[in-house]
Amino acid sequence: MEIAVKRKDGYVRVNGLGLFYEDFIPEFKKATILCLHGGPGASHDYLLPLADLAKYGYRVVMYDQFGCGRSDELEDKTKFTFDYAVEEVEGVRKKLCSGDRLFLMGSSYGGALALSYSLKYQQNLTGLIVSGGLASSQLTVKEMNRLIDNLPSWASSAIKKFGALGEYANPEYLKAVQEFYSRHLIRINPVPKEVQLSLEYADKRNVYRTMNGPNEFTITGTIRDWDITDQIHKITVPTLITVGEYDEVTEVVAREIHNRIRGSILKVLPGCSHLSMWEDREGYINTLKDFMNDRLQI
């Protein structure tokens, strides 16, 4: 039987910034899942399928990170870092989820952030979920370049040619980027409006370009050398890692995380790319639900 769910939204102040959040509250709560969006620089909108978990008794909280979506932006761009973001997650946890049995879920960059948070604050977690996440920017880019090599020749040639020239707005380059995205970001046409909204926020605000770069596979921003691969073995909280069969953050990246976190579970979602919560909504939600139920021994 599905449980009645109430939704609310608002702003929570963390480190002086107003952060927009949505909260899906079941009538009977088993635990809370706090969801971290990717980018860095997107918004939480593309994660809205996870609100389905509230029907099974899980309170679902998601928010727009600093400078993302509807949230305030830091004036000091030197703080556009993982260290700041980790403390922001902890601030949100304290304000919105204090005292809850808490699962932390991160998608893409949000998965990287969830891993970073866990290295410092895993004592606050009941479980960790990393969906299409990464522990090394360089390994991720290496794998994305492998995917580019396997694109149709016109697309791979355009990406390499205009990328080398730094002509990221060239129409041929942009067409090739879309070819990559249609195979490895989201394999749904038309793109769901919630996903499109998240991409538009990333494009019009500063965080994505500052921290990441001009697109998913060209990481020229502040996270380009980020790597915590040699630290994640310290994570002991129960961990689920999901990855799409065609994910831009590939199964190679996911297995590297899985192999280093003892006892972690790796789930490859067939037919899916990066946004598997849209491409196989039911399968993805059931994977998360089953993992959390197991951790709670339900």
Residues with active-site annotation: 108, 247, 274
Answer whether 25's CB lies under 8 Å from 54's CB.
yes
Order of all β-strands in the sheet with 5-14: 5-14, 17-26, 58-63, 31-36, 102-107, 127-131, 239-244, 265-269
225: helix, coil or strand?
coil
Determine the number of helices (DSSP H) and then strands (DSSP E) in the chain.
Answer: 10, 8
Paired tokens of 289: 């639900």
Backbone angles phi and psi of 179, in degrees to 5: -60, -45
For 119-262, list the strands marked E by DSSP. 127-131, 239-244
247: helix, coil or strand?
coil
Find, among 101, 11, 46, the residue nearest to 281 by Cα.
46
What gap in Å lies between CA 93 and CA 87, rounded to an integer? Answer: 10
240: helix, coil or strand?
strand
Cα atoms found within 13 Å of the Cα of residue 41, Cβ hemisphere only:
23
What gap in Å lies between CA 232 and CA 264, rounded to an integer? Answer: 11
Cβ burial 99-113 (10 Å sphere, 16+ → b, else e): ebbbbbbbbbbbbbb
